[in-house]
Amino acid sequence: MEVRDLHPWPATPEAALAIQDRLRPLLVLDEPGPAEPRTVAGLDVSYAGDGGGTGARLAAAAVVLDATTLDVLEESVVTGTAAFPYVPGLFAFRELPALVEALRGLETTPDLLACDGYGVAHPRRFGLACHLGVLTGLPTIGVAKTGFVGAYEPPGARRGDASPLTEGGEVVGRVLRTQDGVKPVFVSVGHRAGLDDACRAVLDLARDHRLPETTRRADRLSRDALTARPPAA
């Protein structure tokens, strides 16, 4: 699939901040997104060891699922090293180079991208899901395991219960219970998707587990790539 080259990969936090500022106006946040996507791609990155610092070994995976059956239609995985340091709010720049290559390895162009991370629920309203949405032009949402910014009241205990995630008086996402009595996930819009449709998609993808199947499959693929033996010479 096509991913646009809109900027070089930055070497410093200052350069990364400038890229976020330049790309943020390209976000489309007033579209509802696909109400019934046929295909959804899950994206995730795994790290060897503690994943800290530059030079950490990583694997980025993109897995395309049939949105109705949740069957895997296509997979792409790329291994490499993190070239950008860990900086809160700029974590996407550690993962984007490999994720972009994984996406380019797909023949399928999915109807929706579901990232393991944040969209506008971000200090500068430009998390990983926003960045990937702008680069691909595709509807993109973020589904995070833990909160990053904002305040919220705990949602009810039943599947589908939700509460707004707010920061500075602005709703930046939703805290969504995907299974009865389990910890919620944090859903935010990335690009060309509405929050209602994003939450509906997450529930459709999380039929039996806390995390959506897109995240689970991409996580498994990336972890397997890190532990795979290299081919014999």
Rounded to 5 degrees, φ, ψ at 232 are -65, 145
Annotated binding site: 44, 116
Return the axis-axis angle of helices 128-136 and 13-23, rounded to nearest 10°.
60
| Contact indicator for 144, 121 with CB cutoff of 8 Å | yes
Annotated binding site for Mg(2+): 44, 116
Question: Which 3 state secondary structure label does DSSP give 52?
Answer: coil
Measured between alpha carbons, how far is residue 112 from residues 23, 25, 50, 213 in Å?
Answer: 20, 21, 30, 14
Query: In sequence order, what E strands does 48-98 have?
Result: 57-66, 72-81
Per 3-state DSSP, what percentage of the chain is helix, strand, and coil (rounded to 5)? 25, 25, 50
H or E element at residue 47: strand 39-47
Question: Which 3 state secondary structure label does DSSP give 21?
Answer: helix
Measured between alpha carbons, how far is residue 56 from residues 53, 95, 136 in Å?
Answer: 6, 11, 26
